[in-house]
Amino acid sequence: MAGTRDDVLDDATITARLAQDLPAWRLEEGWIKRTYKTAGWKGTLMVINTVGHLAEAAWHHPDITASYAWVEVRLTNHAAKGVTEKDFALASKIEEVVGWQPGAEGGALEGTPTDPRFAYIKYEK
């Protein structure tokens, strides 16, 4: 049975959940982390702003480290002093939005061109 949103999860539970639900994320030193590779500074800023918007809307805030072509998102519940359901919920929403590939799903939205001048995220295949 799952705990409340603020119960700290044990490492075994976190590792199993990451493997099942968020395989690109990893557990390190009490944080769940994900590094997004971008095509450059423009994409990096868009990822940071997207994560910032989602975090503010959720009222649960990550730590972010960035460089020219990557963004690392780290989540833990500072008040609870560990990883909780809140971290998994926000990580899932970040993964859904940042990883969205409209061209892959069909429909009216075609996605960004393959031309490097317009590249955004380096999607994992």
Three-class secondary structure assignment of 71-86 = EEEEECECCCCECCHH
Q: What percent of the chain has pLDDT over 90?
A: 74
Average pLDDT over residues 51-79: 97
Per the domain annotation, does 6 fall within a domain? no
Per the domain annotation, does 107 fall within a domain? no
Per the domain annotation, does 46 fall within a domain? yes
Confidence category of residue 1, pLDDT binned at 50, 70, 90: very low
pLDDT over threshold 70, residue 3: no
Instruction: Pull the structure tokens for residue 121.
Output: 């995220």
Q: Quickly tell me which residue has 């976190």 as its tokens.
A: 14
- Cα radius of gyration rounded to whole Å, the chain: 15
Burial class from Cβ neighbours inside 10 Å (0-12, 13-18, 19+) for residue 79 reads exposed
Determine how β-strand 63-67 pairs with β-strand 70-75.
antiparallel
- From the list 64, 28, 17, the residue with the least C-alpha distance to 44 is 64
Per the domain annotation, does 18 fall within a domain? yes
The CATH number assigned to the domain holding 94 equals 3.30.1360.20
The span from the CA of 104 to the CA of 82, in Å, is 36
Q: What is the tally of structural domains in the chain? A: 1
Per the domain annotation, does 86 fall within a domain? yes
pLDDT over threshold 70, residue 78: yes
Per the domain annotation, does 2 fall within a domain? no
Average pLDDT over residues 62-75: 98
Average pLDDT over residues 103-114: 85
Average pLDDT over residues 88-101: 95
**Phi, psi dihedral angles at 34 (to 5 degrees):** -150, 135
pTM over 0.85: yes
Least confident of 26-30, 74-78, 87-91, 114-118: 114-118
Per the domain annotation, does 83 fall within a domain? yes
Average pLDDT over residues 90-109: 92
For residue 76, the enclosing domain spans 11-99
pLDDT over threshold 60, residue 2: no
Distances in Å between the Cα of 26 and the Cα atoms of 47, 73, 77 are 18, 11, 16
Instruction: Pull the structure tokens for residue 98.
Output: 């940042």
Per the domain annotation, does 33 fall within a domain? yes
Query: Quick one: pLDDT at residue 120?
Result: 80
